[in-house]
Amino acid sequence: MARIGVFICHCGENISATVDVAKVAEKAGKLSGVAFSVDYKYMCSDPGQTLIIEAIKKHKLTGIVVAACSPRMHEGTFRKAAEKAGINPYFCEMANIREQVSWVHPKSDTTTQKALDIVRTLVEKVKKNTALFPIKVPVTKTALVIGGGIAGIQAALDIANAGHQVIMVEKKPSIGGHMSQLSETFPTLDCSQCILTPRMVEVAQHPNITLHTYAEVESVSGFVGNFDVKIKMKAKSVDYSKCTGCGACWQKCPSKKIPDEFNEGMGFRTAIYSPFPQAVPNKPVIDRLNCTWFLKGKCGLCTKICPTGAINYDAVDEFIDVKVGAIVTATGFDLKHADFFPEYGYGKFKDVIDGMQFERLASASGPTAGEIRRPSDGKIPEKIVFVACAGSRDKAKGIEYCSKICCMYTAKHAMLYKHKNHEGKAYVFYMDIRAAGKDYDEFVRRAIEEDEVQYIRGRVSRIYEKNEKLIVKGVDTLMNGEPVDIEADMVVLATAVVANIEAESLAQKLHISYNKHKFFAEAHPKLKPVETNTAGIMLAGACQSAKDIPESVSQASASASKVIGLFSSSELTREPIVAVVNRQAPPNYTSCTGCLLCQEVCPYHAIETEEIKDRAGNVLKVVARVNAGLCQGCGTCVAMCRNKSIDLQGFSNDQMLSEVMALLNS
Amino acid sequence: MSEQFEPKIVAFVCNWCTYAGADLAGTSRTKYATNVSIIRFPCTGRIDFMLLMKAFENGADGIIVSGCHPNDCHYTSGNFHARRRWIVFRSLLDFMGFDTDRITFSWVSAAEGTKWASLVNETTEKIRAKGAFTEFKNLDLETFNRLHDEAIAK
Amino acid sequence: MKQLQNKVAELFDNGTISLMIGFQNALNKQPVPCFITVASQVERLIYTPECKGNLAVYLHKIEVKQAKKVGIIGNVATLRSLIQLTSENQLGDIEKTVITVNAQNEVIIFANMDEVEAYVQANFPEYTDEDKKLLEQLNAMSRAERWQYWSEQFSVCVKCYACRAVCPMCYCPSCTVESNQPQWIKVSSETTGNLEWHTMRAMHLAGRCINCGECGRICPVGIPVHLLTAQMNKDIEAEFGAKTGFSCKSGYALNTFKPGDKEQFIK
């Protein structure tokens, strides 16, 4: 005989402002099977939970319905309370009368009635609930870090230093990410490579870290604690076990005119190449798309020169399978190329460049050895215009968010230019100055006051070339919208930060969510910024949203701590929301006919076959069986089964039918 | 002044996308019609067509079925299987002369709170314009009356 | 006929079969199924165009399963049933000997299911002209007219479940319609419940039915229920390219998908 307790939360005024909670509690108390019904201001608070626990004990409740916020918020909280009170936690259900009723409807009788309808629906469901017990699965204490930028490096080091194994996969020939391309970093103006490279070396040498560069994640299957990952090791064409990194090959390689990705197309590299001098590992790969040997079958100079015979033209892509317990995505960002701003002439005028290209010019290891020079004629520019917000915060252009880092790096770029060219003039067209971090505003003030960078509040409408100069047409909104025309020698656009170009396909491989801009979705925007909705997969760095280096590092350490927490016990407790194929007494043994049409639909291959045998060992029938360790509880098999032999615990046929009936019959 | 007809609409949604999207509509305080009540499923793949039939049998005037966009299913492929099932189910209903416009299928992601609200409002108005689903509810009464009348006419 | 009888007698004699499921002369109206257990009974066997019926349905019966070595004769529709059942892992406990008589009146005894599959694929049947005409008529009607048609038809259904009994693909020992905890479909013969029953049957058979038409033929009140599944199979073949009773490896349209499946109705 069911004795259900109903607890209606006011949630302060969030629910009680539009729903008559006292009335709902009163009417719910009259529902068949409800033994106790009460309303209270804050159910999730300590006294609220105590109220529930005492009620369960006092009224000998067999199940509870907490009508409050979304179960996505507090189902766990109330299930724990039920457990404390001595009943199986799966006899607790939540009725969502806040996000889906009180917050979206006006105060009225209809709204109160709707809340009651939903409470009634969940009461009927709970009556059909059964006791469920957590499933224990082993945890593989190896983490996979996807991406070798500063966030990936930090996460890998933190996890490795905690004593766990880490596998890092980086698609480029070297780790380091975008930070390795920077010249100096704000707000301290210390050399980016100088602070980064020791970390890179630490990763390469750490006994707990296995580094795979020039590799990509091919596929991921499994679930938290037990992921099976296939990694594609792209053919480097160089045998790293023989290569010593002497550099003879790329020094002599005759293909010297390949646009250099590391230098953002502002310089050239060879076909066999190491991306930058401090690359880790400092061994080259061959770019088969541009190598004469692979294109025409000629040359082969590197093979002849290599002292250790490390060149291997016949190398093929290899695939390895690894088992990991957790995954950290640290795939970073890209800069939006400003070809969608035809009015700024990026791509058309050689001297209009973006922020990363400026970094390479300013960089001592860059194509101009650190001298700021015009890409068109190599002259030193006397006037540079920096355009902030070139693409961000613009709904019409499709990027309505702020890219966060540009105000700071624009100030930095202007300062670097002025430090190198004391007589030069630097102008910044800005909308706002977002310098909220520690020492950030002081940094920008320094640019304005000490380095005499001229900040003009207004946007640029057009840039065009005239007599080898770039005419920048802007406006000064603080001077009543007075037009400002500047004859610049160079223009640097602070283009939008966008997600890594392969973010979407990686997200689909991992089954994690992403927003319309392809930034990965965190589990909760405030309270779970480093986890995803997919258990076992964490986020670190700019792949989640545009952020600077200190934040990327903090987030990486945070996600590492989540991984370390996951690895802190040898067994993982999984929610028992899994499918089960029924078993009955002989002679049926089960109503399953063994058609196995359910097997195909399971994305986790959780449906196996079982031979039902008699005592003599003769096989009577072959039927389906669910491996509870693999089942993730989607229930697609349940909807597939014609005679309902397979059912989903927590969302069973009985429970769902009861909900439909209860919702429509008062 | 007659009261406006208030249709009863049941929404079968998946927990990870549409339910979260509806929660987001709530967090954003977007206002929408009260006529739609949600039943939460782990995945659209779990939604049995028989539950839709039972909903109509018990008085629903309209139904919404909604889940994750293709390629974004939390369980990888549940929504793909659901899609095929709906294509076939809808074709069967249409062949039997059932008004398939009474069932609205959609993909609403966890970030699409406004889309959910619009969907609820549009569906409510659409079903309101169609009126109560008497065609289904009166099945027995109608046929009985007709057969009875025909028998008397003979 | 003589050829068929002799061949079946041979099968008994060399121990290939211990039970033959075939047809015998009509008692009242048309030929009926017959079950022969010894060679001496083979004279009862006939095979004429009047032999209507999909004998594959008997392969689920426990008495037949206990016989272990079973011979069965049928037309292409029956052969398709066997193929579909094989793809659903249903006939593994019987050693079947499959026999058919082709258009040239030759008796063919298949060595294995691969040969059956090859024969079926080479002689894949079309819908009958009558069914094609009926489907065309129904599809030409307006939605309201179709609703009128089918609700009238369902109003006379007596819930005898003969359609289920005669169908080889309805082999679940416990059918959902018999569940009363919870009760999914009303048992009594009232139109709403009848509609639900036929919807459920059509959905469970969509992509599995091999269009033998037996269900429609057998209905005591003459409801053309076979048209529901016929239409479903047409749609499924058009949308997804899946054919039923075509291959012994499962090609069930509803447990597979293509990321590119198209529809116009999902918002």
Helices C113-122, C76-87: crossing angle, 10 deg rounding: 130
Tokens 């038409």 locate to C213
The nearest alpha carbon in chain C to B54 belongs to C184
Strands (E), A139-189: 142-146, 165-170, 184-185
- H helices within A511-615, ranges in order? 549-566
- Nearest Cα residue in chain B from A105: B31
Between CA B143 and CA C191 the distance in angstroms is: 8
SS3 assignment, position C18: coil
Q: What is residue A533's predicted lDDT score, i.e. its pLDDT?
A: 76
Residues of C in contact with A600 (CB under 8 A): 250, 252, 255-256
Residue B44 falls inside a structural domain: yes
What does the pLDDT look like over A114-130, one tens digit per residue?
999 999 999 999 999 99
Q: What's the pLDDT tens digit per position in C223-241?
A: 999 999 999 999 999 999 9
Angstrom distance (rounded) from CA C195 to CA B141:
14
Give the pair of three-digit tokens for residue A367. Answer: 């194509």
Residue B147: the pLDDT is 65
CB contact under 8 A, A104 and B31: yes
Domain count, chain B: 1
Using CA coordinates, name the residue in chain A closest to C207: A597
User: Could you check whether the bond before residue A275 is cis, i.e. omega within 30 degrees of 0?
Assistant: no
Q: Which residues belong to CATH 3.30.70.3270 in chain A?
A: 579-649
Its domain, for residue B110, covers: 9-153
Nearest Cα neighbor of A290 from A261, A324, A318, A255 is A255
Residue-wise DSSP of A26-90: HHHHTSTTEEEEEEES-TTSHHHHHHHHHHHHHHT-SEEEEEES-HHHHHHHHHHHHHHTTS-GG
The domain A333-498 belongs to what CATH superfamily? FAD/NAD(P)-binding domain (3.50.50.60)
CB contacts under 8 A, A 60-89 vs B, are 70-72
Residue B71: inside a domain: yes
Of C88, C173, C175, the CB nearest to A597: C88
Between strands A4-9 and A34-40, the pairing is parallel
Q: Is A114 on the interface with B (CB under 8 A)?
A: yes
**pLDDT exceeds 80 at position A554:** yes
Tell me, yes or no, whether B141 lies in a domain. yes
Q: Which chains touch B (3 or more CB pairs under 8 A)?
A: A, C
With an 8 Å Cβ cutoff, are A659 and B73 in contact? no
pTM summary value: 0.74
Share of chain A above pLDDT 70, in %: 100
Residue from B84, B93, B106, B142 whose CB has the most chain C CBs within 10 Å, to mutate: B84
Helices (H), C49-142: 62-67, 76-87, 113-122, 129-140
Q: What is the pLDDT of residue B154?
A: 65
pLDDT at C76 over 70: yes
Q: Over 50: is that where the pLDDT of B1 sits?
A: no
Nearest to B92 among C147, C199, C256 (CB): C199
Q: What is the CATH number of domain A133-234+317-330+502-571?
A: 3.50.50.60
State whether residue B3 sits within 8 Å of chain A by CB.
no
Domain A4-128: give its CATH code: 3.40.50
CA C6 vs. chain centroid, Å, equals 28
ipTM of the complex: 0.92
For residues C75-103, average pLDDT: 92
Mean pLDDT of chain C: 92
pLDDT confidence tier of residue A606, bands split at 50, 70 and 90 = confident
Q: Which helix (H) or strand (E) holds A158?
A: helix A150-161
- What pLDDT, on the 0 to 100 scale, is given for residue A338? 59
Specify the pLDDT at position A604: 77
Q: Which of A302, A314, A424 is nearest to A371 (CA)?
A: A424
The answer to the question of residue B40 being in a domain is: yes
Answer whether residue C8 shows pLDDT above 70: yes
CB contact under 8 A, B92 and C203: yes
pLDDT band at B2 (very low <50, low <70, confident <90, very high): low
C183 touches chain A (CB under 8 A): no
Contact check, Cβ <8 Å, C228/B96: yes
CB contact under 8 A, A577 and B42: yes
**pLDDT confidence of residue A513:** 81
d(CA A640, CA A598): 6
In this structure, are residues A565 and A143 in contact, taking their beta carbons and an 8 Å threshold? no
Helices (H) and strands (E) in chain C, counts: 10, 5
CATH number of the domain within which B54 lies: 3.40.50
pLDDT digits (tens, 9 = 90+) for B46-102: 999 999 999 999 999 999 999 999 878 888 789 999 999 999 999 999 999 999 999
For β-strands A490-495 and B9-14, DSSP reports them as unpaired
Picking from B81, B95, B100, the nearest residue to C228 by CB comes out as: B95
pLDDT category at A465 given cuts 50, 70, 90 is very high
Mean pLDDT over the full length of chain A? 93
Scanning the structure block, which residue is given the tokens 């500047």? A486
For range A583-609, the mean pLDDT? 90
Residue B148 is predicted with a pLDDT of: 65
Domain with CATH 3.40.50 in chain A: 4-128
Residue A31 has pLDDT above 90, yes or no: yes
Surface of B (98-137) touching C: CB under 8 A: 98-100, 104-107, 119, 135-136
Span C39-66, mean pLDDT?
91
Confidence class for position B144, pLDDT limits 50, 70, 90: low
- B56 touching C, CB under 8 A? no
Q: CA A520 to CA A502: how far, in whole Å?
A: 12
- Give me the residue from C144, C192, C235 closest to B97, CB to CB: C144
Indicate the residue of B16, B48, B59 with minimum beta-carbon distance to A664: B59
DSSP result, B42-90: S-GGG--HHHHHHHHHTT-SEEEEEEPPTT-BTTBSHHHHHHHHHHHHH
User: In which residue are the tokens 């093929």 written?
Assistant: A316
pLDDT at A268: 92
Angstrom distance (rounded) from CA A162 to CA A157:
8
CATH of A579-649 among 3.40.50.300, 3.40.50.10490, 3.40.190.10, 3.30.70.3270: 3.30.70.3270
* Residue B1 domain-assigned (yes or no): no
Does residue A237 sit at the B interface (CB-CB below 8 Å)? no
- Of A377-386, A511-520, B132-141, the poorest mean pLDDT is in B132-141
What is the tens place of the pLDDT at every residue in C116-162? 999 999 999 889 899 999 999 999 999 999 999 998 899 889 999 99
For residues C166 and A573, the model is more confident at C166
pLDDT at A514: 87
Q: Does domain A235-315 have CATH number 3.40.190.10?
A: no
How does pLDDT run across A322-363, given as a tens digit for each residue?
A: 999 999 999 999 998 756 678 899 888 999 999 999 999 999
Q: Measure in Å the smallest separation between the Cα of B154 and chain A Cα atoms.
A: 40
Q: Name every residue whose Cβ is closer than 8 Å to that of residue B56 and which is 6 or more positions away in sequence.
A: B63, B102, B133, B136
Which residues are within 8 A (CB) of B150 and not within 5 positions of it... i.e. 6 or more apart? none
Under a CB-based contact definition with an 8 Å cutoff, are residues C47 and C1 in contact? Answer: yes
- 8 A C-beta contact, residue C8 and residue C29: no
Q: Are strands B103-107 and C19-24 parallel, antiparallel or unpaired?
A: unpaired
- What are the backbone angles phi and psi of residue A319, rounded to the nearest 5°? -120, 135
* Separation CA A528–CA A555 (nearest Å): 11
Residue A525 in contact with partner chain B when CB distance is under 8 A: no
pLDDT reading at A519 higher than 90: yes
